[in-house]
Amino acid sequence: MGMIEVAFQVLGAAIVSLIGALFLQLAARIVVSVKPPYGQAFKATLLATIIVIAGEFAASTFLGWELTGANLQNILIYFGAAFLIQSFIVGRVIEDDDRYPVGFVRGAIISIIQTILGVIVGAILGAIAFFIFGLAPSRYLPANPAIPLPAASPAGAPAVSTEAEAQKEAVRRYPSLGVQGSDFNKAFLARHRQYKAEKPEFFNDPAWPIKLAEETAAAGYR
């Protein structure tokens, strides 16, 4: 972990602590029935975060340990140490209604509740953003992958006067087109639905059934 990365982490910690302080105020209100001043809550949250970052930096610099790629045991040790540090600092900085520090045990309980509140609010905001910005694939993506559109209609389609004639000619050339449920038939219908939605002008030519059948055959269907 380099100094630049540490600087960005400290800046991020300051920004996150602005919100974390609100959760700490609420958690303290739940545990000790006292809402600490915002500045006090921000101080405790920021101080705990910076010490954890400093510890990670020291472990990386002197021991070659990195959180990224660490095994489960080391990750648990890291988060356990971070929790103990946060509990200690919260217990020392946050005061009860008698203006005495709440102590380590109540600091640990406050830290747990603060973390739970942060996770819940983060999950809610994430879910809202997920759906507002159209990131839910089940709602916005088609059930089946789109069939690639050809750059141009195949050349050489015969001149027909009506769509019915073109349909008969397409079935004559590709008999499986007239077999309901065949691979060719299903691919033809899928392409037909896609073109209806994406390039309806394709159907202005009465010979479209022949052209569409030729495109289906060119895609490898028989």
pLDDT (tens digit, 9 = 90+) per residue, 12-50? 878 888 998 899 999 999 998 889 999 999 998 988 888
Burial of residue 3, with CB atoms counted within 10 A of its CB: 0-12 exposed, 13-18 middle, 19 or more buried: exposed
How are the residues of the chain apportioned to helix, strand and coil, as percentages rounded to the nearest 5?
70, 0, 25
The pLDDT score that the predictor gives to residue 129 is: 77
Instruction: Tell me which residue has tokens 């349909």.
Output: 167
Query: If you average pLDDT over every residue of the chain, what do you get?
Result: 81
User: Is a pLDDT exceeding 60 seen at residue 149?
Assistant: no
Contacts of 62 (CB under 8 A, 6+ apart): none
User: Is a pLDDT exceeding 90 seen at residue 211?
Assistant: yes
The pLDDT tens digits of the residues spanning 108-143 come to 999 999 989 988 988 898 888 777 765 444 444 444
**Lowest mean pLDDT across 1-5, 54-58, 149-153:** 149-153
Q: How many CB atoms lie within 10 A of CB 102?
A: 22
Distance (Å, rounded) from C-alpha 40 to C-alpha 213? 73
The amino acid at 141 = L
Task: Report the percentage of the chain scoring pLDDT > 70.
Answer: 82
The pLDDT score that the predictor gives to residue 136 is: 46
Domain boundaries, the chain: 3-139, 142-222
Read off the pLDDT band of 175 (50, 70, 90). Answer: very high
Mean pLDDT of 135-163: 52
DSSP alpha helices (H): ranges in 94-150?
103-132, 137-140
Read off the pLDDT band of 2 (50, 70, 90). Answer: low
Q: Report which of 109, 1, 93 is spatially closest to residue 38, judged by C-alpha positions.
A: 93
The pLDDT score that the predictor gives to residue 112 is: 94
Specify the pTM.
0.51
Sign of CA dihedral 58, 63, 69, 74: negative
Distance (Å, rounded) from C-alpha 105 to C-alpha 94? 12
Cα–Cα distances in Å, from 82 out to 19, 45, 172, 187, 196? 19, 12, 75, 57, 58
Mean pLDDT of 97-112: 90
User: How many residues are recorded in the chain?
Assistant: 222
